[in-house]
Structure 1
Amino acid sequence: MNFSQLQCLVALVETGSFTEAAYTLDLTQSTVSHALAALESELGVTLLERNRKGVAALTPAGQKIIPRVRALLAQAEAIEQEAQALRGEVSGKLRLGTVHALYPEMLASVLMRFRALYPEIEVVLFEGTMQEVSEWLGNSVIDVGFVFHSACGIESTLITTDELCVVVPTGHRLHAENAVSPGKLRGEELIMEKAGCASQLMEMGSFEMGKARLHVRYQASDSATIVAMVREGLGITLLPRTMLPRKLEGVLALPLNPPQDVPIGLAVRQRSTASPGAQLFVQVALTWTQEQAASLRET
């Protein structure tokens, strides 16, 4: 068993295709196929199988092994980056997890600064829900990711805060309210993310499901779908303000009373073993947000 074989396995899992995996690794398709076959032969188990559509998918044995493979490769990458740092070099790969529609301007600005400071570090973006980002961290799919700070059981560095809003359709009984207290939402039906930290958002909004008589009626995969469902009068939702469209049509975003902040952090699997690239990205993001906050205070 060698690192090349493990890299081929991970590439196959991420792309679902021998052709795409070969392209990603700059290898021939036959090389990738032989690497997988050799790895499976050595381990004595089948790790991947092709489904009816020809897509390579993990077997039950592969699902058990892949988190350890990812963790091993991540540590190997961290070791290489540490050695390069000792030689005064900064290079390697950084896998960053982010949430759809969450702070796109901030992400773009931080990435621009990070690239300017550390051009030899290749950043690979993974987009998903908060819950997916948390799972990717735990399974070593990514090196660093945006999460709800101090939520979902993950240690993180606070980067910024957002405002939690109640989103209701135009003409809703609360549409004229300047701010909404949890008690005024008694009996309302919620539309929340299918795979997100919905319970953390509820806690941030000081909602107690039993007392407020709230329940999740529908679940959707992204914020755009959720807002569209609210517009159609299927329920209301709780979302950070930056995850809302710039132009609201058919819906209103109302602040909570008392106001509730959503703390956004950057998390790594374990600070003591995080790669230099991951640590540098957290520091660049933190410095950028601090500068933006200072600029706002001066204006």
Structure 2
Amino acid sequence: MNFSQLQSFVALADTGSFTEAAYAINLTQSAVSHALAALESELGVTLLERNRKGVVSLTAVGQKIIPHVRTLLAQAESIEQEARAAHGKTSGKLRLGSINSIISPRLLASLLTNFQQKYPDMEVVLFEGAMQEVGEWIEDSIVDVGFVVLPAPNVESSPVTTDELCVLVPPGHRLRTRSAATFKELREEGFIMEKSQCALHLLQRVGFGTSKNRPHIRYQASDSATILAMVREGLGITLLPRQMLPQKLEGAIALPLDPPQPLQIGLGIRSARVASPGATLFIQTAQIWAQERDELF
């Protein structure tokens, strides 16, 4: 087997498409198809199967093998980056995981800009998902480094910044004049939340989650902009990290919680012992970036 075959296998598993896989690793569809066929022939197993619509999915044995392949490719990238670093060069690929409903676009864009200015030859590939997904991506070597909410089990993490959970209510809401909202008051409300486990995590932090304290989720939407528009219309309230709010919040009121609910944000890696130079540099850059803004907790 060779790296081209392994890269083709992973690209197909990630994209579910020969066309997208070929584009992702800069090969032709024919080359990707031949690489997969050669790998399956050498191993004597079927790693991927296609349905009638041409969508690719992992077989049972493919699911068992792919974590090992991801680890091998990640280690190969680390070896190449270490070799370049020995010659004073910083280049290569960094796979970064970000949490959609926790990490604000402004924070992410500012940090990426800072990193790219310092290390222009590092290519950053962004993966966005829910909090649990990013944690699994770190563990499975799908990403080299990812944002996490601390404490983060099963990964090695470094603190970067802190945020605060707040509740958004429409202007005519009964809580609009309050300085803070309590869990008891929120129990009486209907929520508009994202369709993700991140939303459940935020609700649990406030106190929901047990059989006696189940939240009344009135609506679920796929993005924060839609949720904010629904809150403005008085269809319900929502919970969001303060940094996720637009710079000019119009048509809604953001209230802190009583007691306060801080969100400690960090960056996680699988292991510092095998982390790529790019991942280490990204964490260092993020911590310096936060210190410059007095955000390090």
Q: Tell me the TM-score normalised to structure 1 length.
A: 0.87
After superposition, residues 126-275 of structure 1 pair within 5 angstroms as 126-151=127-152, 154-205=155-206, 207=207, 209-210=209-210, 213-215=213-215, 217=217, 218-275=219-276
Counterpart-to-counterpart distance in 2, 1:212 and 1:181: 17
Counterpart-to-counterpart distance in 1, 2:118 and 2:214: 48
Aligned to 1:21: 21
> 1:160-212 CA deviation, whole Å, 9 max, x = no partner?
1112101223322212212112222233344433333445434543x254598
Q: Say whether the 8 Å CA contact 1:166–1:253 is kept in structure 2.
A: yes
Structure 1: stretches of 5+ with no match in the other structure: 295-299
> 1:32-54 CA deviation, whole Å, 9 max, x = no partner?
11110011112222222222322
> 1:112-138 CA deviation, whole Å, 9 max, x = no partner?
222222222111111222222222212
Is the partner of 2:181 in helix, strand or coil? coil
What is the CA-CA distance between 1:240 and the residue it aligns to?
0.2
Q: Give, as a single letter, the amino acid of the residue that structure 2 aligns with 1:192.
A: M
Please tell me the root mean square deviation across aligned C-alpha atoms, in Å. 2.5
- 1:50–1:21 CA distance, 2 compared to 1 (3 A): same
Q: Say whether the 8 Å CA contact 1:170–1:251 is kept in structure 2.
A: yes
Q: Give, as a single letter, the amino acid of the residue that structure 1 aligns with 2:282.
A: F
- 1:25–1:232 CA distance, 2 compared to 1 (3 A): same
Aligned to 1:77: 77
> 1:220-274 CA deviation, whole Å, 9 max, x = no partner?
4433343344445454322101222334444322111233221111111112211
Counterpart-to-counterpart distance in 2, 1:177 and 1:164: 16
Q: Say whether the 8 Å CA contact 1:182–1:212 is kept in structure 2.
A: no
Higher mean Cα deviation, 119-128 or 101-110? Answer: 101-110
Counterpart-to-counterpart distance in 1, 2:111 and 2:196: 26
- 1:60–1:191 CA distance, 2 compared to 1 (3 A): farther
Aligned to 2:63: 63
Q: Give, as a single letter, the amino acid of the residue that structure 1 aligns with 2:252.
A: V
Q: Say whether the 8 Å CA contact 1:170–1:231 is kept in structure 2.
A: yes
Aligned to 2:43: 43
Is the partner of 1:83 in helix, strand or coil? helix
Counterpart-to-counterpart distance in 1, 2:157 and 2:220: 27
Counterpart-to-counterpart distance in 2, 1:146 and 1:275: 16
Q: Say whether the 8 Å CA contact 2:138–2:270 is kept in structure 1.
A: yes
Counterpart-to-counterpart distance in 1, 2:106 and 2:253: 22
Counterpart-to-counterpart distance in 2, 1:47 and 1:110: 38
Identity of aligned residues (%): 63
Is the partner of 1:245 in helix, strand or coil? coil
Is the partner of 2:294 in helix, strand or coil? helix
Is the partner of 2:196 in helix, strand or coil? coil
Superposition misfits of 4+ residues, deviation over 6 angstroms: none
> 1:36-78 CA deviation, whole Å, 9 max, x = no partner?
0011112222222222322322233322322221122111111
Aligned to 1:86: 86
Structure 2: stretches of 5+ with no match in the other structure: none
- 1:50–1:210 CA distance, 2 compared to 1 (3 A): closer
Q: Tell me the TM-score normalised to structure 2 length.
A: 0.87
Counterpart-to-counterpart distance in 2, 1:43 and 1:235: 55
Counterpart-to-counterpart distance in 2, 1:275 and 1:267: 13
- 1:97–1:87 CA distance, 2 compared to 1 (3 A): same
- 1:245–1:31 CA distance, 2 compared to 1 (3 A): same
Counterpart-to-counterpart distance in 2, 1:92 and 1:58: 28
- 1:132–1:211 CA distance, 2 compared to 1 (3 A): closer
Higher mean Cα deviation, 166-175 or 156-165? Answer: 166-175
